[in-house]
Structure 1
Amino acid sequence: MQTSFPASAAILLRRQSQVFAAAGDGQLPASHLEAFEINLAGIGYAISTRLRARLATGTAAQLGALQQNILATLLTAFGGQRRHQPLFRRFPEDVPDNTFDLWCRKVLSHFMQAEGQACLHCGQTHTTHVLNPCRHVVCSACFDGSNYSACPVCERQVDPGSPFFLPAPERATAPPAAATPLKLLTLGESLEASAQALFVSFCERKQALSPVDKDDFQALIRERGAAILDWMPAAIPVRENVALLFGSLLRHLAPDAVMAAAAPYFNSATDALRLLAAYSGADPALQGDTIFRERDTATLRAMPKYQAFFAPGSYWLQRQTIPIAQLNKRFKLAKLGRPLRRALLAYLESLSPESRTEDMLRHRSYWVWLGEFLHPHEYQKRYPGVAHSFAIVRKKAPDGTPAPLFRSYYARLEQSAQQKDSSGMLRLLSQRPGELARRFDHALRIAGGDAGAEEQLLTTFASMVERFATPVLLTLAALLPTRGAPAAARVYWPKGKAAKGVFGPDQRPSLTPAAISRALALVEGELLRRFAQKEHYNDFVIDRTLDTVMAPFNERTASRSAIQLPRGSAIDIDLEFPKTLRLFLHWCEPQRGGHTTDLDLSVAFYDEAWAYLGVCSYYQLTLTGKSGAGIARSAGDLRSARHPDGATEFVDIDCGQARQEGIRYAVAVVNNYGGMPFEELEHAFAGLMLRDDKHGAHFDPRTVQLKFDLQGENGIFLPLVLDLEQQRLHWLDVYSKGEFEFNNAASSHAAITAICPALIAYFASGVRPSMYELALLHAAARGQRVRLRGGEECIVTRLAGESSADFLARLRADDGASAAASTEDGGAAPIFAALLKGDLALPAGSQAYVLQPGETAATIAASDLIS
């Protein structure tokens, strides 16, 4: 049995619950396997019969090594590998109820308590201790040293060897509740074949990879090196993925060899720019980095755009400089040898002059800066076209001669739109099918009800629909049915490292029913045609509960998450048993010293109309209802997170009591109160658990329902909203800018009440496609019989000669026989399943999308269904 655990094995274990173990010739005692299964059950996993039989053929040393790797991988995915010790070690017991009284004692201790002096609060002597390195003097009679894990005064981590800190009672992990299902690990057939299939699926994605997928994609490339070229598919639709692939290879292979292999996948100047970004370890999305530069306060006070800093009593009035955010369109460029420079310049020279220049102007600031390293005018005789394009980008030649004027495609397109020139706009859009698809709604509005212009646009749309990207078609399939009337709010998703939904009133004119109907038929017809080219299955099983799970979009900004729940999704959670919901936040500062960061986990509570009812946060550790019963309790505020242990904060919510007190919504808020940006931390993540043993271990990976990483610069992160009445979790995964420092739930109130209800309504409106609708499209195109689960189950069977469009209409209408009355048996033939929970055993060879793994794990990701 193999003992090595390559990156691909860890990735497939985490993503598909597969364990790869070669057959041995031994026979392990049953006690070894039982101990292995007990350890796995402790983190919420079990093993299949086939995997157990395979592991029994190995040695004890091999089983031990495999167990270590499996536990490390799975615990990392759910945050269980970290030390989770909150400020109050006996949480949820012994948390002070009077936060103001505690604050007063801390302030007095900070300013007035001296070493050797009798305690200011109780008057006792010989009970005070000086903590290092903060040097605060604390009284063991007033502050319980067996309950605190950090300084009670400043709440920063200190030397735990001080006599002030006393041992705390051990917190035993309770046995799993009977209602807690174990996730099944299965035996993988071939690590090589499975890794190749995953790599190809990444390459064939038709939208940008999520951060988790991007990490796994790069790990596969690093593991295999140049041999990964043997796995490459004929086409890689997303340019960023092309750059990631060849940029990684460029670090180890000769430039000529890499550029020759990349040539079939490159067709623009931006491809070369992305390649250099990936080669340099930067983001090939080319969205720039936000940097903070200190600016003189006196200078800023004279500038109207910065007046918000100088309100009466503002903290910034005391500062001589203020950090101002700037978008930096550069990256630290890796070494460019002459062979690489010549290879890049030769590729750029091979492009058509107009497209090369226009493409470079789209990212002008990058190219102006990059020209300092490529030195295109040194090679002007060999590559004259490139030198000419750089002169236009720089607006002058090296000798100071002004560059010729150049009017880009997008400048002409915007002019046509502003002038309401429908024919001119259509003429330009027809040159680039992708732009036609993305601006189709806008083009229909420019047509303005002109029957001739509208007909011409729809005719062009029909002739080019086969050339549109699948993600755009899916967006149109969901958007078009909603365009018959103004939306409650229009939401935009600007490019960036973190999602910041921007919304406002919908001022767009409505589209005509005829245009909507005709365009929708074309879009759905093309989607069905594409999906019909994929592998067919006789039987499909689809959960109706996927109708509130969104199909992935804007994946580039999705948070890294153990369960890849797409932004905007809503899932039901059982808040009756167990009734305690525990939110957690963990972060760790980099090993290099000199920086501390104070993150805060808060929960804000609102009624049916989004009227504020209370908060549980660092400035109000407990929230009590009118009846006197506790609603929420915080584990305390830690204000530093020293490497390597970091810091953890918890908030417990008694959901039943909250509902009795008239609370409808609980909003989780992660604030950067001060210090380093989220993305500069060693690691930072948050999530929630459903607990029935809240007095056991503070962190139990078996109960983690959602775990996600923090990213971006600073401000306010609004990850989720709990609808306590409907027992539903809304995953928003959106950031609000906030301030540079001192963010908290109170200062975030305006953002919460504006963003949360608007986004919940936006996603509920159907403007975004759901995983249920996406699964129905695949079933109508690829299947013969579809079982719809959830509610009254039914089986819809394709009629003889029935078209995919007609079959889709019947699937949407649940036009089938009751599943209870059906006697048909699919047997052992592989099926296709789209499941919310992996609670269904599937025949061998089946393909499955599973949001929450259980008895069955996913074999494909949600984004694979959009390819």
Structure 2
Amino acid sequence: MRTTIIKKTLRVPTSDGAPGDGAATARQLDAALLNSGFKASRDLLEHVGGLAGAEEFAAEVVRAVKDLIGARGQHNPYFKEFPHNVPDTLAFWRECLRDAIEKGVEPTNNLLDLPMYGRVQHTYEEMLQAHDLLIPSLKDRVTVVHLGGTLEEEVQLLFEELASSPIPLNESDRAVLGELAVLCPDAKVEVPVRENRAVLNAARLVAQRPLEDVDTVTDVLRLAAEASGGDVTLAEPTRFRSFRRPERRALLKALDEVSAAKFGDVNRHREAWKRLGERLHPHEHPFENARDVFAVARGEKVARSFAGQVEMAFAEGDVDRAVQVLANAPGLLLRQVDRLLRNGARDLAGHVAVAVPEVSSRVLISLLEHLANRATPDTARVFASRRRRVWIADDERAPLDPGAVAEITEVVENELVRRLPEYSELLVDAEVLDVVVPVSGTEEGFGVLPRGSKLSFDGDVLRFFVHWRQQAKRTDYDLSALLLDEKFEYQGQVSWTSLKLGGAHYSGDVTDATDGATEFIDVHRKALKAKYVVPQVNIYSGEAFDDVAESMFGFMSRDLDQMGKPFEPSTVRMRSSMRGKGKVALPVMFEREGDTWSGTWLHLYLRGTAWGNRIEENRDIVKLIASASLRRKYFTVARVKDLFARKQSTEDAPRIRIGLTQDETGGVTTVAELGKLLSD
């Protein structure tokens, strides 16, 4: 748990070791952290310096930050001298054929059958000897690691941070929340996100403690899914486990206390309810209301949901009745604003004004972002599911009336301004102005930002990498890069079928990851002719992103004169896990802007094919996604800054600073915490 806290918060829980002289260990800790692009805060160094036998404590801190940026494994590229001396593609394949003939292997048309192809031909130590040491630069990243409270205090604090999150958590954070719920059984915190409530209630269910905050039938279904090790978001079907009798009684009692007016929600997950009913045996318990839930699932009783009533009103062309029904469900009303406007709803701004106080900030932000993109039809409509699976459709919607959009936008913005905290001074770091305010969880990792966020950084060379380790069978991932001009037209690609092209170099194809495998692509800013670079990771064969032991994507930046080995921790700008449904990952895209790079986060997965995914087969759809993602208007920190200006400052209120990370002085509201800032 100490390691988890360090990785999640960059705070180190204090040690309860004996006092003593740990000055030498503190100096070693600081040096080791600097090699990885981190530095210890003054308080952390003083704490370690006052401990006797602090070596293991310091080593644990170093292990945690190295794991955070993906530096714990050995990243050994196929071409030993990469990025230098990368061969021509056809010349390399001929060399593989020649090697096979010399070894007495009959050549085939399949590269994977050649002994030399896809299998690293040198040791990690031999690769290191082929590279000079990294020359440090002032541009290299330095991230501060702070001293926290005691382990118990930090456990409690992380529990409160995750449980009270105003946005849904990613899979990794939900797993951590489940562990913390066991350690903090008596903690009292407001939990606004229903998935998080289900995670906490699953811990209470197992411990036979009273369930809390269950007020819909779907809350019970989520709880049962989480307690069964399934998908708490209900996006994927769950195989429900056999529940103990006290657990069955607790679940049925919770169902029995839900208002029958909400039974219409059962229809959304009818099959899941049928499977759950087989596990709960509702006929064995005296909960008549709960038995009705399963009767609705079986079709023996009818319960119409709000959504069903709305659909019936639209089907009959009665938009006024649709508005009246939606007025009883404020969140659903705001999600239907576009449709209501297209169907001629009257005085919709007035209905929205009544609804907004009852709606979460993330729904308000999502509505503002949506309306900002409805002035003209999109090039293509890009949809992303909760599991980040993407699909595309033509935009055949007529633009919305600008006057109506302006009225509703004003109403929603006024509500967000009302929720902002009082402040005496607002300081916003320039680098975060184009960062998107999060409304859902992002990938687990380091330096990861919400989809659509744009961040600029220096460096002559952009280097991105993928690392994976298979679990049960041979797995081949392929790192590739699509090169596009300013009009998003195809300029070429770098992959295992094209090892180098105009300033871009590929480190070589590794086709087995028993002990872990890493592939790199280098892009030289001055030599590159393309405007945009879109990396992708294709599953050629083997295990999916959700099934491998580990998988990650990241990128580094460095100057030409820095040298260094292929993977240098201090130059890592971002490292994210790849855990999504799909065979092709699109983590981020890059743009050349004068003497700098800018990265735009995508966090998307394409369905792809069952086997043999290649960049040549998906480049057209990736072009559309890249174009649509860059042209979309997002709700960014810059817009939050404008909202603060409308609220005006108060002399006696605290100062607020918004940035990417905490520094030595503390007191920074990070991008991840903006959701709470807007929910106050």
Same fold per TM (> 0.5)? yes
Provide the secondary structure at the position in 1 that maps to 2:272: helix
How do 1:125-164 residues align onto structure 2 when only pairs under 5 Å count? 151-153=115-117, 155-156=118-119
Match of 1:703 among 571, 581, 591: 571
Q: Structure 1 residues 711, 231: closer, same or farther in 2, change over 3 A?
A: same
Question: C-alpha deviations, 1:482-525, integer Å up to 9, x for none?
Answer: 54x32434635343422415343251342251x33432332122
Contact 1:206 1:866 in 2 (8 A): no
What is the aligned counterpart of 2:232 among 284, 289, 313?
Answer: 284
The one of 635, 643, 655 equivalent to 1:831 is 655
Preserved contact between residue 490 and residue 504 of structure 1 (Cα < 8 Å): yes
Q: What is the identity, as a one-letter code, of the residue corresponding to 1:510? A: L
**Which residue among 54, 79, 82 is the counterpart of 1:88?**
79
Q: Normalising to structure 2: TM-score of the pair?
A: 0.91
Task: After TM superposition, give the deviation of residue 599 of structure 1 in Å.
Answer: 0.4
**Partner amino acid, structure 2, of 1:337:** R
Q: State yes or no: 1:497 paired with 2:387.
A: yes
Say whether the 8 Å CA contact 2:144–2:664 is kept in structure 1: no
Residue equivalent to 1:568: 452
Unmatched tracts of structure 1, length 5 or more: 1-6, 121-133, 138-150, 289-328, 396-402, 626-630, 786-797, 799-828, 852-859
Q: For residues 337-352 of structure 1, what are the structure 2 equivalents within 5 Å?
A: 337-352=244-259
Q: State the shift of 1:602 in Å.
A: 1.0
- Are 2:83 and 1:100 aligned? no
Per the normalisation by structure 1, the TM-score is: 0.72
Per-residue CA distance 1:118-139 (angstroms, 9 max, x = gap): x99xxxxxxxxxxxxx9978xx
Give the Cα–Cα distance (whole angstroms) in 2 for the partners of residues 702 and 28 of structure 1: 29
Aligned residue-pair number: 673
Q: Distance in 1 between matches of 2:376 and 2:141?
A: 44
User: SS at the partner of 1:746?
Assistant: helix
Pairwise CA distance, 1:107: 4.6
Task: Give the distance between the partners of 1:619 and 1:587, measured in 2 at CA.
Answer: 20
CA distance 1:423–1:346, shift in 2 (3 Å): same
In 2, are the aligned partners of 1:571 and 1:730 still within 8 Å (CA)?
A: yes
Select 2:509's aligned residue among 626, 629, 637.
637
Whether 2:675 is the aligned partner of 1:863: answer yes
Q: 1:779: how far off?
A: 6.5
- Please tell me whether residue 476 in structure 1 is matched to residue 367 in structure 2: yes
SS at match of 2:290: helix
Q: Structure 2 vs 1, CA of residues 729 and 11 (structure 1 numbering), >3 Å: closer, same or farther?
A: same
**Distance in 2 between the 1:462 and 1:270 partners?**
28
C-alpha displacement of 1:349: 2.1
Q: Contact 2:448/2:575 (CA < 8 Å) preserved in 1?
A: no
Deviation at 1:472, TM superposition (A): 1.3
The question of whether the paired residues in 2 share the 8 Å contact of 1:570 and 1:731 is answered with yes
> Cα distance 1:428–1:494, how it changes in 2: closer, same or farther (>3 A)?
farther
Q: CA deviation at 1:668?
A: 0.7
The match for 2:376 is: 486
Q: CA deviation at 1:38?
A: 1.5
Q: Does 2:56 match 1:65?
A: yes
Paired with 1:167 and 1:186, the residues of 2 have a C-alpha distance of: 35
Equivalent pair of 2:25/2:48 in contact (CA under 8 Å):
no
Alpha-carbon spacing, 1:477–1:755, altered in 2? closer, same or farther (3 Å): closer
Post-superposition CA distance 1:679-721 (Å, at most 9, x none): 1000011111113466422211110011111122442222222
Contact 1:26 1:56 in 2 (8 A): no
CA–CA separation in structure 1 for the residues paired with 2:411 and 2:555: 43
> Of the candidates 328, 347, 363, which is equivalent to residue 269 of structure 2?
363
Which of 625, 632, 635 pairs up with 1:769?
Answer: 635
From 245, 248, 252, give the equivalent of 2:203: 248
Relative to structure 1, the CA distance from residue 404 to residue 247 in structure 2 (aligned partners, 3 Å threshold; closer, same or farther) is: closer
**Structure 2 residue corresponding to 1:618, chosen from 474, 496, 501:** 496
Structure 1 residues 518 and 700, CA, compared in 2 at 3 Å: closer, same or farther? same
Q: Cα gap change, 1:587/1:694 in structure 2, threshold over 3 Å: closer, same or farther? A: farther
Matched, 1:848 2:669: yes
Q: Could you tell me how far 1:170 is from its partner in structure 2? A: 5.8
Q: Quick check: 1:24–1:57 contact (8 Å CA) kept in 2? A: no
> In structure 2, what is the Cα distance between the partners aligned to 1:639 and 1:773?
46
Residue 454 (structure 1) aligns with: 346
The reply on whether 1:441 has 2:309 as its aligned counterpart is: no
Say yes or no: does 1:586 pair with 2:467.
Answer: yes
Give the SS at the match of 1:431.
coil
Measured in 2, the distance between the counterparts of 1:371 and 1:521 equals 47
Q: Distance in 1 between matches of 2:216 and 2:482?
A: 48
1:349–1:167 Cα change, 3 Å: closer
Aligned to 1:524: 413
* Kept in 2: contact 1:551–1:770 (CA 8 A): yes
Distance of aligned partners of 1:405 and 1:191 in 2 relative to their CA distance in 1, 3 Å threshold: closer
**Residues 506-565 of structure 1, C-alpha deviations (whole Å, 9 max, x = no match):** 51342251x334323321222222224xxx44222113443321111343xx32231131
Distance 1:184 1:168 in 2: 28
Contact 1:212 1:561 in 2 (8 A): no
Displacement after TM superposition at 1:114 (Å): 5.7
**C-alpha contact (below 8 Å) 2:581/2:605 kept by paired residues:** no
Answer whether contact 1:489 1:506 (CA < 8 A) is retained: no
The structure having more radius of gyration, on CA atoms, is 1
Structure 1 residue matching 2:615: 3-state secondary structure: coil
The 1-side partners of 2:26 and 2:293 are apart by 67
Distance in 2, Cα, partners of 1:166 & 1:705: 27
Deviation at 1:657, TM superposition (A): 0.7
What percent of counterpart residues are identical?
27
**Alignment map for 1:111-510 (pairs within 5 Å):** 115=104, 151-153=115-117, 155-156=118-119, 169=129, 171=131, 173-222=133-182, 224=183, 228-233=184-189, 235-251=190-206, 253-254=207-208, 257=209, 260=210, 262-263=211-212, 265-288=213-236, 329=237, 331-356=238-263, 358-379=264-285, 382-395=286-299, 403-446=300-343, 448=344, 454-455=346-347, 457-483=348-374, 485-489=375-379, 491=381, 493-500=383-390, 502-510=392-400
Native 8 Å contact 2:499 2:506 kept in 1: yes
For residues 776 and 22 of structure 1, the distance between their equivalents in structure 2, rounded to whole angstroms, comes to 43
Q: Which runs of 5+ in 2 are unaligned?
A: none
Matched, 1:21 2:20: no
Deviation for aligned residue 1:847: 4.0
For residues 167 and 734 of structure 1, the distance between their equivalents in structure 2, rounded to whole angstroms, comes to: 33
Task: For 1:21, give the aligned amino acid.
Answer: T
- Evaluate the alpha carbon distance shift between residue 22 and residue 87 of structure 1 in structure 2; reply closer, same or farther with a 3 A threshold: closer
Whether 1:56 aligns to 2:49 is: yes
Superimposed CA distance per residue, residues 611-634 of structure 1 (whole angstroms, 9 cap, x where no aligned partner):
2222221111122x4xxxxx1211
2:68 corresponds to which residue?
A: 77
- Quote the residue 1:715 is aligned against: 583
Q: Measure, in 2, the Cα distance between the counterparts of 1:499 and 1:136.
A: 33
Tell me the distance in 1 between the aligned counterparts of 2:127 and 2:169.
Answer: 47
